[in-house]
Amino acid sequence: MNTCPVYRRSGGYSYSYFIPGPIGINLGMLRDKQKHSGNVSACTLCLSCQTVCPVKVDLGDQVYKWRQQLDDFGTANPEKKLMCKGMKVLYGSSGIYNTAMKFAPLANMIPSGLMNCSLNPWAEGHKMFKFPKNSFQELWRKGKVK
């Protein structure tokens, strides 16, 4: 569990099962899927645990499989499901993606009071990202990135 970036950052407080980290995620899900299903979202799926496991237990793959079943358990987060559908549209079309990236800097003009409110729970404890004026792709085309 010490290789897990979430565990290293949180010290185990991100997990509801008494064994923290990737092993605890899987054991918790085996014990009570309803109670411990939130743990699968704590995992970044970096697969660091799987890479260093001396007995080659596929912990990250197991977490990924649990995550795919959250809908079946009735514990999938509706906001995340909606975001995933939106991301599928955004990343599934280069035209939509390129247009979104072109207009992304307009988000910098939104007053912080509108972004840092109860409708945006992520903003609590985080600073809003500032979009660059030019995308990496634009800079590359202009020859400003080598």
Angle between helices 59-68 and 21-31 (to 10 degrees): 40
Query: What residues have CB less than 8 Å from 104, skipping those under 6 apart?
Result: 131, 135
pLDDT at residue 43, rounded to an integer: 86
Please identify every stretch of the chain with a pLDDT value under 50, giving residue numbers as ranges: none
pLDDT at residue 66, rounded to an integer: 93
pLDDT at residue 48, rounded to an integer: 92
pLDDT at residue 30, rounded to an integer: 92
In angstroms, the CA 42 to CA 12 distance is 10
Instruction: Quote the radius of gyration of the chain (alpha carbons, Å).
Output: 19
- Write the DSSP string, 41-76: GT-----HHHHH-TT---HHHHHHHHHHTHHHHT--
Helices (H), 1-143: 5-10, 21-31, 33-36, 48-52, 59-68, 70-73, 78-92, 94-103, 112-115, 136-141
**Which letter does DSSP use for residue 19 in this model?**
S
pLDDT at residue 7, rounded to an integer: 80
In angstroms, the CA 79 to CA 139 distance is 34
pLDDT at residue 100, rounded to an integer: 92
Closest CA to 40 of 2, 9, 14, 5: 14
